[in-house]
Amino acid sequence: MKTESREQLQSWLRDTLPQQTPTNPRYWFPLTLPTYGVDEISEAIECMVDFQTSMGQRTRQFEQAFANYVGAADAVMVNSGSSADLLLAYQLINPLNPRLQPGDEVLVPVVTWPTQVWSVAMAGLKVQLVDVDPTTLNVDLDDLRRRIGPRTKCFFAVHLMGNPCAMDAVRKLCNEYGLLLIEDCCEALGAQHDGQHVGTFGLGGSYSFFFSHHMTTMEGGMVTCVDQHHADQLRVLRAHGWSRGLQNQATGAAEIDSRYLFVNWGFNLRPTELQAAFGLHQLAKLDAMNARRRQLAARFEDYVAQRPALATPSVPAAGTSSPFALPVMLSGDLAHRRGELTDYLEQQGIETRPVVAGNLARQPAAAILGDLDPTAYRGADEIHQRGFYLGLNPAFDDVLFGRMLDTLDAAIDHVSSTTHVRTAA
């Protein structure tokens, strides 16, 4: 697109886009708000005007910029964070370079987004769920050690709600038992441990760019890679088993047209160029957006510190969180009254959610994994029963945030002043 045309488009967008950020009419304090504007939209429109909508140059540019940001050797963009988890899992059993064999066991925290678990199961690997620590929302290291058996070959860590795991202890344990390490960082972009970004401690890490996450490409995700060879393997798996797009071009038999050379099995998990266009501008804003998230989260932690019935997750001594939302654990008189509290907040226009799927062993779909005992995950049950979260977004202003805190106070007072009748489970 010509420079003058681009400038005209941006001017038109500035005049056309609403001046006030749109919100869900039901909630004045929603889980999230849009963080994109004229730059992202005009870049996406430019892709369409130039008929460059399929994965191309912008995608590669975004991959390189993202890898540089987190300190990875390379990165491979996909169409969602769940697809990023799927690529990580299938890379473990890649037929051309298998690291694991069918039936090998992968340890996964029991409180996580379900597609992290399904990815491992779909790859023909055995999922062993591990309990979590309700004070951190992350893996219980003692239970992790207890569940390591002779078929255990990998730990799929998750940094829940932007809180980094204690990666020094995790790596020490993985080294002790010879376990591969991969990381789900879909809620933790920008989180670090001892100055190192999560997603760069093992074989690879997955990230999500869904609308509500730290940065957005609407739908989209990324996988970090330890080297160029690993990145090329993932690019083949991402696109049909096709050699197209490899940095080190594959060669085949002379009778095969190199444009249609297939060297492995694969999916179609490719992103669009429009998503990458969004990502380039969002990545440039990421540090500022995350700084604002941390500022608001620190204000919330100060608020919670004055209220004994509430608690926020603790962060490892060497950790730097990148808050995804505002998770809360209830205790004391409020311990078994989460439903009443969140119902009141919802009625007052504050959107809430449970802590992802809670104890995944209690979900109906967990039957796919075999005969599980939900009561074997006590930490997860505490989160399941006593945890919920509120929204966090860099677009929230201080007045709006203060109003939310005042409403939360009113909710606590309301629930505390009403009679609670416990029903049998």
Whose CA is closest to 285, among 217, 184, 221, 186? 217
Whose CA is closest to 393, among 308, 323, 307? 323
Tally the C-alpha atoms within 13 A of residue 275's C-alpha that lie toward its C-beta.
26
* Residue that the structure tokens 């490899």 belong to: 246
Which residues does the annotation mark as catalytic?
213
CA distances from 337 to 211, 262, 414 (A): 30, 56, 11
Long-range contact pairs involving 58-65 (C-beta distance under 8 Å, separation at least 24): 58/273, 58/276, 58/277, 58/280, 59/271, 59/273, 59/275, 59/276, 61/276, 61/280, 62/276, 62/279, 62/280, 62/283, 63/222, 65/280, 65/283
Report the 3 state secondary structure along 269-335: CCCEHHHHHHHHHHHHHHHHHHHHHHHHHHHHHHHHHCCCCEECCCCCCCEECCCCCEEEEECHHHC
Contacts of 329 (CB under 8 A, 6+ apart): 134, 135, 310, 311, 312, 313, 382, 383, 386, 387
* Residue that the structure tokens 């796919």 belong to: 368
| Cα separation, 293 vs 396, whole angstroms | 9
Residue 76 phi/psi, 5-degree rounding, is -125, 120
Query: Contact at 8 Å (CB) between 344 and 414?
Result: yes
| Cα separation, 167 vs 71, whole angstroms | 16
